[in-house]
Structure 1
Amino acid sequence: MTSRPTVLLCDDSRALRMLAARQLDDCGFHVVGEAGNGHEAVSQYQALKPDVVLMDLVMPECDGKQALGRILAQDPAARVVILSSLGAQSDIEECLKLGARSYLQKPIDPEVMDRVLHEAVA
Protein backbone atom coordinates (compact mmCIF):
# COMPACT_ATOMS: atom_id res chain seq x y z
CA MET A 1 0.00 0.00 0.00
CA THR A 2 1.38 3.42 -0.91
CA SER A 3 0.96 6.31 1.48
CA ARG A 4 -1.28 9.19 0.56
CA PRO A 5 0.31 12.57 -0.24
CA THR A 6 0.19 14.97 2.71
CA VAL A 7 -1.35 18.44 2.64
CA LEU A 8 -1.05 21.49 4.87
CA LEU A 9 -4.35 23.37 4.57
CA CYS A 10 -4.09 27.13 5.18
CA ASP A 11 -7.19 29.35 5.25
CA ASP A 12 -8.61 31.73 7.82
CA SER A 13 -12.10 30.25 7.36
CA ARG A 14 -12.58 27.22 9.57
CA ALA A 15 -15.66 26.23 7.55
CA LEU A 16 -13.63 26.23 4.34
CA ARG A 17 -10.88 24.20 5.98
CA MET A 18 -13.44 21.61 7.07
CA LEU A 19 -14.99 21.42 3.58
CA ALA A 20 -11.60 21.30 1.85
CA ALA A 21 -10.34 18.60 4.24
CA ARG A 22 -13.26 16.34 3.26
CA GLN A 23 -12.65 17.02 -0.43
CA LEU A 24 -8.93 16.38 -0.05
CA ASP A 25 -9.62 13.08 1.68
CA ASP A 26 -11.94 12.09 -1.18
CA CYS A 27 -9.13 12.96 -3.63
CA GLY A 28 -6.67 10.66 -1.84
CA PHE A 29 -4.76 13.25 0.19
CA HIS A 30 -4.09 13.28 3.94
CA VAL A 31 -4.40 16.63 5.73
CA VAL A 32 -1.52 16.65 8.23
CA GLY A 33 -2.09 20.17 9.51
CA GLU A 34 -4.16 23.32 9.29
CA ALA A 35 -3.31 26.99 9.66
CA GLY A 36 -5.54 30.04 10.07
CA ASN A 37 -2.95 32.65 9.10
CA GLY A 38 0.37 32.92 7.30
CA HIS A 39 2.50 32.78 10.46
CA GLU A 40 0.87 29.48 11.41
CA ALA A 41 1.33 28.23 7.84
CA VAL A 42 5.09 28.87 7.92
CA SER A 43 5.43 27.28 11.37
CA GLN A 44 3.32 24.25 10.40
CA TYR A 45 5.30 23.82 7.19
CA GLN A 46 8.57 23.75 9.14
CA ALA A 47 7.20 21.20 11.60
CA LEU A 48 5.30 18.93 9.20
CA LYS A 49 7.10 19.15 5.82
CA PRO A 50 3.93 18.25 3.86
CA ASP A 51 4.01 17.12 0.24
CA VAL A 52 1.93 20.14 -0.79
CA VAL A 53 0.50 23.30 0.79
CA LEU A 54 -2.95 24.61 -0.12
CA MET A 55 -2.71 28.31 0.79
CA ASP A 56 -5.36 31.04 0.90
CA LEU A 57 -4.16 34.49 -0.17
CA VAL A 58 -6.21 36.67 2.18
CA MET A 59 -5.45 35.79 5.81
CA PRO A 60 -4.88 37.89 8.93
CA GLU A 61 -1.46 38.78 10.36
CA CYS A 62 0.53 37.36 7.43
CA ASP A 63 -1.13 36.84 4.05
CA GLY A 64 -0.66 33.97 1.65
CA LYS A 65 1.84 35.78 -0.57
CA GLN A 66 4.06 36.56 2.41
CA ALA A 67 3.78 33.01 3.73
CA LEU A 68 4.52 31.62 0.26
CA GLY A 69 7.71 33.69 0.11
CA ARG A 70 8.82 32.59 3.58
CA ILE A 71 8.16 28.92 2.91
CA LEU A 72 10.03 29.01 -0.40
CA ALA A 73 12.93 30.89 1.24
CA GLN A 74 13.29 27.95 3.67
CA ASP A 75 12.58 25.23 1.11
CA PRO A 76 12.86 26.20 -2.57
CA ALA A 77 11.40 22.80 -3.50
CA ALA A 78 8.18 23.40 -1.52
CA ARG A 79 5.01 22.76 -3.48
CA VAL A 80 2.45 25.47 -2.75
CA VAL A 81 -0.90 25.82 -4.49
CA ILE A 82 -2.69 29.12 -3.91
CA LEU A 83 -6.41 29.02 -3.13
CA SER A 84 -8.33 32.26 -3.18
CA SER A 85 -11.51 34.05 -4.15
CA LEU A 86 -9.31 36.81 -5.55
CA GLY A 87 -9.34 36.14 -9.25
CA ALA A 88 -7.34 39.04 -10.69
CA GLN A 89 -4.85 37.90 -13.30
CA SER A 90 -2.18 40.03 -11.62
CA ASP A 91 -2.60 38.08 -8.35
CA ILE A 92 -2.30 34.79 -10.20
CA GLU A 93 0.80 35.93 -12.08
CA GLU A 94 2.45 37.32 -8.95
CA CYS A 95 1.96 34.06 -7.02
CA LEU A 96 3.30 31.99 -9.90
CA LYS A 97 6.33 34.31 -10.20
CA LEU A 98 6.96 33.88 -6.47
CA GLY A 99 7.03 30.12 -6.97
CA ALA A 100 3.51 28.78 -6.45
CA ARG A 101 2.90 25.61 -8.43
CA SER A 102 -0.65 26.56 -9.36
CA TYR A 103 -3.66 28.62 -8.40
CA LEU A 104 -7.20 27.49 -7.52
CA GLN A 105 -10.26 29.70 -7.32
CA LYS A 106 -12.92 29.56 -4.61
CA PRO A 107 -15.44 28.04 -4.51
CA ILE A 108 -13.41 24.86 -4.77
CA ASP A 109 -14.22 22.58 -7.68
CA PRO A 110 -13.28 19.12 -6.32
CA GLU A 111 -12.33 17.74 -9.75
CA VAL A 112 -10.06 20.69 -10.53
CA MET A 113 -8.50 20.54 -7.05
CA ASP A 114 -7.86 16.81 -7.47
CA ARG A 115 -6.11 17.34 -10.81
CA VAL A 116 -4.08 20.40 -9.72
CA LEU A 117 -2.85 18.88 -6.46
CA HIS A 118 -1.91 15.56 -8.03
CA GLU A 119 0.04 17.48 -10.70
CA ALA A 120 1.77 19.47 -7.94
CA VAL A 121 3.00 16.37 -6.16
CA ALA A 122 3.88 14.39 -9.32
Structure 2
Amino acid sequence: MSTRPTVLLCDDSRALRMLATQQLTDAGFDVVGEAGNGRQAIERYRELSPDLVLMDLVMPECDGKQGLSGILAADPEARVVILSSLGAQSDIEECLRLGAKSYLQKPIDPADMERILLGVLA
Protein backbone atom coordinates (compact mmCIF):
# COMPACT_ATOMS: atom_id res chain seq x y z
CA MET A 1 0.00 0.00 0.00
CA SER A 2 1.28 3.43 -0.93
CA THR A 3 1.95 6.10 1.67
CA ARG A 4 1.87 8.76 -1.04
CA PRO A 5 -1.33 10.82 -1.22
CA THR A 6 -3.74 9.49 -3.86
CA VAL A 7 -5.34 11.69 -6.52
CA LEU A 8 -8.24 11.24 -8.91
CA LEU A 9 -7.58 13.43 -11.96
CA CYS A 10 -10.60 14.65 -13.91
CA ASP A 11 -10.18 16.62 -17.15
CA ASP A 12 -11.63 16.17 -20.62
CA SER A 13 -8.19 16.79 -22.17
CA ARG A 14 -6.16 13.58 -22.37
CA ALA A 15 -3.01 15.66 -23.00
CA LEU A 16 -3.57 17.64 -19.80
CA ARG A 17 -4.22 14.45 -17.84
CA MET A 18 -0.91 13.03 -19.09
CA LEU A 19 0.99 16.22 -18.19
CA ALA A 20 -0.70 16.58 -14.79
CA THR A 21 -0.08 12.91 -14.00
CA GLN A 22 3.66 13.44 -14.55
CA GLN A 23 3.66 16.63 -12.46
CA LEU A 24 1.71 14.97 -9.66
CA THR A 25 3.98 11.92 -9.68
CA ASP A 26 7.06 14.14 -9.58
CA ALA A 27 5.55 16.00 -6.60
CA GLY A 28 5.04 12.78 -4.62
CA PHE A 29 1.40 11.94 -5.37
CA ASP A 30 -0.06 8.74 -6.82
CA VAL A 31 -2.65 9.25 -9.56
CA VAL A 32 -4.99 6.33 -8.89
CA GLY A 33 -7.58 7.14 -11.52
CA GLU A 34 -8.67 9.43 -14.31
CA ALA A 35 -12.03 10.70 -15.55
CA GLY A 36 -13.06 12.69 -18.61
CA ASN A 37 -16.12 14.39 -17.13
CA GLY A 38 -17.87 15.00 -13.83
CA ARG A 39 -20.13 11.95 -14.07
CA GLN A 40 -17.12 9.67 -14.53
CA ALA A 41 -15.37 11.46 -11.66
CA ILE A 42 -18.27 10.70 -9.31
CA GLU A 43 -18.20 7.01 -10.30
CA ARG A 44 -14.40 6.77 -10.01
CA TYR A 45 -14.45 8.57 -6.65
CA ARG A 46 -16.89 6.01 -5.26
CA GLU A 47 -14.68 3.16 -6.56
CA LEU A 48 -11.31 4.55 -5.49
CA SER A 49 -11.85 6.83 -2.45
CA PRO A 50 -8.79 8.96 -3.28
CA ASP A 51 -7.26 11.42 -0.84
CA LEU A 52 -8.17 14.26 -3.18
CA VAL A 53 -9.68 15.07 -6.56
CA LEU A 54 -8.21 17.51 -9.08
CA MET A 55 -11.13 18.44 -11.35
CA ASP A 56 -11.45 20.60 -14.45
CA LEU A 57 -14.32 23.06 -14.40
CA VAL A 58 -15.39 23.06 -18.07
CA MET A 59 -16.13 19.59 -19.47
CA PRO A 60 -18.78 18.08 -21.74
CA GLU A 61 -21.82 16.17 -20.44
CA CYS A 62 -21.21 16.86 -16.75
CA ASP A 63 -19.03 19.82 -15.73
CA GLY A 64 -16.79 20.29 -12.74
CA LYS A 65 -19.44 22.03 -10.64
CA GLN A 66 -21.82 19.08 -11.13
CA GLY A 67 -19.00 16.63 -10.47
CA LEU A 68 -18.02 18.51 -7.32
CA SER A 69 -21.61 18.46 -6.05
CA GLY A 70 -21.97 14.74 -6.82
CA ILE A 71 -18.73 13.81 -5.08
CA LEU A 72 -19.62 15.87 -2.01
CA ALA A 73 -23.08 14.26 -1.93
CA ALA A 74 -21.36 10.86 -1.82
CA ASP A 75 -18.72 11.99 0.68
CA PRO A 76 -19.12 15.36 2.44
CA GLU A 77 -15.48 15.11 3.60
CA ALA A 78 -14.10 14.80 0.03
CA ARG A 79 -11.26 17.13 -0.87
CA VAL A 80 -11.79 18.52 -4.36
CA VAL A 81 -9.53 21.10 -5.99
CA ILE A 82 -10.94 22.76 -9.11
CA LEU A 83 -8.59 23.17 -12.07
CA SER A 84 -9.53 25.52 -14.90
CA SER A 85 -8.38 28.03 -17.43
CA LEU A 86 -11.40 30.13 -16.47
CA GLY A 87 -10.07 32.64 -14.00
CA ALA A 88 -13.18 34.70 -13.27
CA GLN A 89 -13.40 35.51 -9.57
CA SER A 90 -17.10 34.57 -9.64
CA ASP A 91 -16.24 31.02 -10.82
CA ILE A 92 -13.65 30.65 -8.08
CA GLU A 93 -16.05 31.92 -5.42
CA GLU A 94 -18.88 29.68 -6.63
CA CYS A 95 -16.71 26.54 -6.54
CA LEU A 96 -15.47 27.38 -3.05
CA ARG A 97 -19.04 28.04 -1.93
CA LEU A 98 -20.08 24.65 -3.36
CA GLY A 99 -17.38 22.96 -1.27
CA ALA A 100 -14.14 22.93 -3.29
CA LYS A 101 -11.12 23.15 -1.02
CA SER A 102 -9.08 25.27 -3.42
CA TYR A 103 -8.70 26.36 -7.04
CA LEU A 104 -5.79 26.03 -9.49
CA GLN A 105 -5.41 27.91 -12.75
CA LYS A 106 -4.21 26.41 -16.03
CA PRO A 107 -1.53 26.26 -17.18
CA ILE A 108 -0.49 24.33 -14.11
CA ASP A 109 2.54 25.61 -12.26
CA PRO A 110 4.01 22.49 -10.60
CA ALA A 111 5.25 24.36 -7.51
CA ASP A 112 1.86 26.04 -6.97
CA MET A 113 0.07 22.74 -7.50
CA GLU A 114 2.22 20.92 -4.96
CA ARG A 115 1.85 23.73 -2.40
CA ILE A 116 -1.94 23.94 -2.78
CA LEU A 117 -2.54 20.18 -2.77
CA LEU A 118 -0.35 19.61 0.27
CA GLY A 119 -2.16 22.47 2.01
CA VAL A 120 -5.53 20.85 1.25
CA LEU A 121 -4.28 17.55 2.68
CA ALA A 122 -2.84 19.15 5.85
> Same fold, TM exceeding 0.5?
yes
Q: 1:48-67 counterparts in 2 under 5 A?
A: 48-67=48-67
Q: Which segments of 5 or more consecutive residues in structure 1 lack a partner in the other structure?
A: none
Query: Residue 90 in 1 paired to residue 90 in 2?
Result: yes
- Runs of at least 5 residues in structure 2 that lack an aligned partner in the other structure: none
1:22-58 alpha-carbon deviations (Å, 9 max, x no partner): 0000110000000001111000000000000000000
- Report the AA paired with residue 115 of structure 1: R
What corresponds to 2:68 in structure 1?
68
Name the aligned partner's letter for residue 109 of structure 1: D
Once residues 45 and 74 of structure 1 are traced to their aligned partners in structure 2, the CA distance between those partners, rounded to angstroms, is: 9
| TM-score, normalised via structure 1 length | 0.98
SS at match of 2:104: strand
Write out the 4+ residue segments of structure 1 that deviate beyond 2 Å after TM superposition.
Answer: none
CA–CA distance in 2 between the matches of 1:36 and 1:61? 10
Q: What do residues 64-88 of structure 1 show as CA deviations (whole Å, max 9, x unaligned)?
A: 0001001101111000000000000
Counterpart of 2:103? 103
Kindly, what percent of the aligned residue pairs are identical?
74
Please give the residue correspondences for 1:7-86 in structure 2 after superposition, counting only pairs within 5 Å: 7-86=7-86
Q: What's the Cα RMSD here? A: 1.1
Amino acid at match of 2:68: L
Structure 1 residue identity aligned to 2:45: Y
Query: How many residues of Structure 1 are paired with residues of Structure 2 in the alignment?
Result: 122
Deviation at 1:5, TM superposition (A): 0.2
What amino acid does structure 1 have at the position aligned with 2:86?
L
1:89: Cα distance to partner?
Answer: 0.2
TM-score, normalisation: structure 2: 0.98
